[in-house]
Amino acid sequence: MPSPQPFAGVLVPALTPFTPAGEPDAGRFVAFCRWLLDEGADGLAIFGTTSEANSMSAAERMTLLDRLIASGIPAAKLMPGTGACSITEAATLIRHAVAHGCGGVLMLPPFYYKGMTEQGIYDFISAVIDRVGSAALRMYLYHIPPQTMIPFGVELVGRLIKAYPDTIVGLKDSSGDWANTKALLDAYPGFGIFPGSEVFLLDGLRNGGVGCITASGNVNVPGIRKVYENWKTPQADQLQADITLVRMTIQKYPMVPALKRIVAHFHGDPDWAAVRPPMERLSDAQSASLLADLAKIGYSLGERRREAAE
């Protein structure tokens, strides 16, 4: 039997703000994470793909985590991404997260080399867990083949659960392929499976999923929470259609720059739009078009927040 789940509900891979000089902006990051929790996020999957985590050094990531913890954000709500191409760097990041008492970590496969065997990926994860050597570690596998090209296939996931039943407690499926999510849900009941997009939230919950970890959570926690709270009610399908529409509207644009642009606009803080290369911020034309598209569907971050608070 898998371990009890440390996380469920709506988890947000929090965006990472950068200063005009391109440095991680710890002050804005802390404020933004606190705001996401106030909005109703059940947890923060900081340092994910949406967070531009791999555009930061290990030291930069650990400093930001230190600052979050120092600010009083509960470690149990945090699931930092600890992916790295090397066993050594991954183990360093995980040890740091475990020492802070983080609820779990989100673990990429080693993503530089392509065409590696399942045994090679298994050995990598196994070596990392052995090197960390902590009974407190709760690891979520991060399946995101569009970026890594290295999958956590259904069979490999089963081998890892069997070998590390108290450590490997779940998976984020960012394949964008519902058939894959469904196959995992069917194969491993009780395993903590989070679709990587709220588009699959309702389908996931109806099939044994525990929530979602989704980029657009950065700008739509209240809407996504409504689906999570009401998934057994007759309104569920309409609520799901509402959040799917928001997601689809945003993802017509490059996702991370678009989300940062939305935050910049609705938080009244233009510096928020900054990204680190190789990402590029939206052009003025793209920004105007995105905001117009969102207005057309009646989206407003502030209004949604007020509505949720009513």
Q: How many CA atoms lie within 13 A of 45 on its CB side?
A: 34
Cβ proximity to a copy of itself, 124 vs 231, nearer residue: 124
In whole angstroms, the minimum distance from the beta carbon of 116 to a copy of itself comes to 4
Task: Tell me the one-letter amino acid at 261.
Answer: R
In whole angstroms, the minimum distance from the beta carbon of 93 to a copy of itself comes to 10
In whole angstroms, the minimum distance from the beta carbon of 126 to a copy of itself comes to 8
44 DSSP β-pair partners: 12, 78
Q: Which residues bind a copy of itself (CB under 8 A)?
A: 22, 49, 54-60, 84-89, 92, 109-114, 116-117, 119-121, 123-124, 126-127, 146-147, 149-150, 276-280
In whole angstroms, the minimum distance from the beta carbon of 22 to a copy of itself comes to 7
CB 259 within 8 A of CB 221: no
In whole angstroms, the minimum distance from the beta carbon of 20 to a copy of itself comes to 13
In whole angstroms, the minimum distance from the beta carbon of 57 to a copy of itself comes to 4
Cβ proximity to a copy of itself, 64 vs 301, nearer residue: 64
Cβ proximity to a copy of itself, 131 vs 305, nearer residue: 131
Cβ proximity to a copy of itself, 53 vs 201, nearer residue: 53
In whole angstroms, the minimum distance from the beta carbon of 96 to a copy of itself comes to 13
Cβ proximity to a copy of itself, 6 vs 254, nearer residue: 254
Cβ proximity to a copy of itself, 192 vs 196, nearer residue: 196
Cβ proximity to a copy of itself, 18 vs 231, nearer residue: 18
DSSP annotation string for the chain: -PPPPS--EEEE-----B-TTS-B-HHHHHHHHHHHHHHT-SEE--SSTTTTGGGS-HHHHHHHHHHHHHTT--GGGB--B---SSHHHHHHHHHHHHHTT-S-EEEPPP-SS-S--HHHHHHHHHHHHHHH--TT--EEEEE-HHHHS----HHHHHHHHHH-TTTEEEEEE-S--HHHHHHHHHHSTTSEEEESSGGGHHHHHHTT--EEE-TTHHHHHHHHHHHHHTTTSTTHHHHHHHHHHHHHHHTTS-HHHHHHHHHHHHTT-GGGG---TTS-PPPHHHHHHHHHHHHHTT--HHHHHHHHH-
